[in-house]
């Protein structure tokens, strides 16, 4: 058991190192940061000096090693675009992304499970069929388009909700939260729906098919034969057994919600790390790109590790 955990942690660290190496090898193809940092009247000498100062003349593995060395001491470098410490910028922007991810994750999970159960129980009903058809939109329409459509409907035509931004935020220590103001909560609605719609339909379809599968099992038939109420059968027996795969998928999807947030954040000008990353790519802001990619991979690797460890806890067969 202990050696299994140790092995998994070692593998995760290795994955992180490889991700970083690949990232640094690719930065050269994004462009030359010096070109975007200097104005049009720069001289060749200016370009060379800045390149030398930033260490851009070093081979990428040397740049990577320097990055790791400094990162190990808690220094993520200075953003080329903003001229401020990257760690500070990310700390400012992360709450926006995490709050959005949390709300859209909750939206996807709750609505997905409820609609999944509904469409499974009333599998031939009109409403269930309509929901299933509509859910195709959630799967097939790109996030970008959904966001723009929502903005045009609810912000421009109806003027109910804001079209961009986070509304008013409250500072709690180092954390800026939009949960405590009305404008902050209202601003969450459209981005959360946009970001969570795909996951919601995914969970809904998963719950539905799992539920239908479970409903065919012998123990459900026996439960029926025992004369249990529909309610008890559906929620106590069927749903419980449906949720195991749902939790696995949700856990894994949490990482991708944060990663997918890039597009949603761009559409809604949501000041999170995804928007920061897009800006960084356009500007070839290598320190920010490196920090973001490492952050996301730490998150993905961490979630995977947690899921793996949960399996061990849940499934006794893995422990032997």
Partner 1 sequence: MMNRFWMATALAALMATPAVSETFRWASTTDPQTMDPHAVSSTPVLGFLNNVYEGLVRRGRDMSIEPALATAWEPLPEGAGWRFTLREGVTFHDGAAFTAEDVRFSYERAASEQSDVRSWFAPVTDLVVVDEYTIDILTRSPQPIFPDSIANWMIMDSGWAEANGAAGVARDAENFATLNANGTGAFRLVSRQPDLETILEPFEGWWGEVEHNITRAIFTPIQNDATAVAALLSGEIDMINPVPVQDADRIDAGDGVLVLRGIETRVIMLGFAHDHETLQNGAPNPFRDVQVRGAVAQAVNVDAILQTIMRGSAEPASQLVPPSARGFSTAQDTRPVLDPDAARAALAEAGYPDGFEFTLSCTNDRYINDEAVCQAIVGMLAQVGLRATLEAGPVSNYWPELRAGNFDMYLLGWSPGTFDAEHPLRFLVHTAGESLGTWNFGGYSNPRIDALLPMIQSEIDEDARQAMLDEAAAIVQDDMVYVPLYVEPLLWGVRNGVTLTQRPDNFFILRWVSVD
Binding residues for partner 1, rule: CB under 8 A, are: 29-33, 35-46, 49-50, 53-54, 78, 81-85, 89, 92, 148, 151-152, 155-156, 159, 162-165, 266-269, 271, 275-276, 278-279, 281-284
> Does residue 95 contact residue 188 with C-beta atoms inside 8 Å?
no
We find the least distance from the C-beta atom of residue 268 to partner 1, in angstroms, to be: 7
We find the least distance from the C-beta atom of residue 127 to partner 1, in angstroms, to be: 32
In terms of CB distance, is 47 or 305 closer to partner 1? 47
**How many residues are recorded in the chain?**
320
* Gap between the Cα atoms of 308 and 9, Å rounded: 10
For 275-312, the DSSP string reads HHHHHHHHHT-HHHHHHHHHHHHHHHHHHHHHHHHHHH
Residue 40 has what DSSP assignment? T
We find the least distance from the C-beta atom of residue 92 to partner 1, in angstroms, to be: 8
We find the least distance from the C-beta atom of residue 171 to partner 1, in angstroms, to be: 11
We find the least distance from the C-beta atom of residue 7 to partner 1, in angstroms, to be: 41
Q: Give the Å distances, CA to CA, from 11 to 17, 65, 304.
A: 10, 20, 11
In terms of CB distance, is 81 or 208 closer to partner 1? 81
> Tokens 């969450």 label which residue?
188
SS3 78: strand
Residue 77 has what DSSP assignment? -
In terms of CB distance, is 78 or 301 closer to partner 1? 78
> Does residue 50 contact residue 33 with C-beta atoms inside 8 Å?
no
> Does residue 235 contact residue 290 with C-beta atoms inside 8 Å?
no
Give the torsion through C-alpha atoms of 230, 232, 236, 239, to 10 deg: 10
In terms of CB distance, is 144 or 235 closer to partner 1? 144
In terms of CB distance, is 105 or 178 closer to partner 1? 178
We find the least distance from the C-beta atom of residue 82 to partner 1, in angstroms, to be: 5
In terms of CB distance, is 179 or 219 closer to partner 1? 179
Is the Cα dihedral 128, 130, 133, 136 positive or negative?
A: negative
């Amino acid at each position: 058991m202990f050696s299994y955990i140790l092995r998994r942690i070692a593998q995760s660290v290795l994955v992180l190192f490889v991700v970083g190496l690949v990232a640094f090898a690719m930065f050269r193809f994004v462009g030359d940061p010096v070109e975007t940092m200097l104005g049009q009247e720069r001289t060749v000498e200016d370009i060379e000096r800045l390149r030398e100062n930033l260490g851009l003349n070093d081979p990428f593995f040397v740049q990577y090693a320097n990055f790791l060395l400094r990162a190990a001491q808690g220094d993520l470098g200075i953003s080329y675009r903003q001229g401020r410490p990257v760690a500070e910028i990310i700390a400012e922007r992360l709450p926006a992304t995490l709050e959005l991810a949390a709300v859209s994750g909750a939206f996807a999970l709750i609505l997905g499970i409820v609609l999944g159960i509904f469409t499974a129980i009333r599998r031939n009903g009109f409403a269930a069929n309509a929901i299933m058809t509509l859910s195709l939109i959630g799967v097939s329409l790109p996030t970008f388009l959904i966001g723009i459509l929502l903005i045009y409907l609810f912000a421009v035509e109806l003027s109910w909700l804001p079209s961009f931004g986070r509304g008013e935020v409250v500072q709690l220590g180092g954390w800026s939260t939009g949960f405590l103001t009305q404008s902050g909560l209202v601003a969450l609605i459209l981005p959360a729906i946009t970001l969570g719609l795909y996951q919601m339909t995914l969970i809904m379809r998963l719950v539905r098919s799992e539920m239908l599968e479970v409903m065919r099992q012998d123990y459900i038939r026996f439960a029926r034969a025992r004369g249990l109420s529909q309610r008890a059968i559906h929620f106590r027996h069927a749903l419980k057994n449906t949720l195991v795969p749902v939790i696995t998928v949700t856990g894994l999807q949490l990482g991708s919600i944060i990663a997918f947030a890039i597009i949603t954040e761009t559409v809604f000008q949501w000041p999170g790390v995804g928007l920061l990353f897009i800006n960084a790519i356009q500007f070839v802001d290598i320190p920010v790109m490196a920090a973001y990619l490492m952050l996301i991979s730490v998150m993905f690797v961490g979630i995977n590790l947690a899921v793996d460890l949960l399996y061990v806890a849940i499934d006794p067969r893995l422990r032997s």
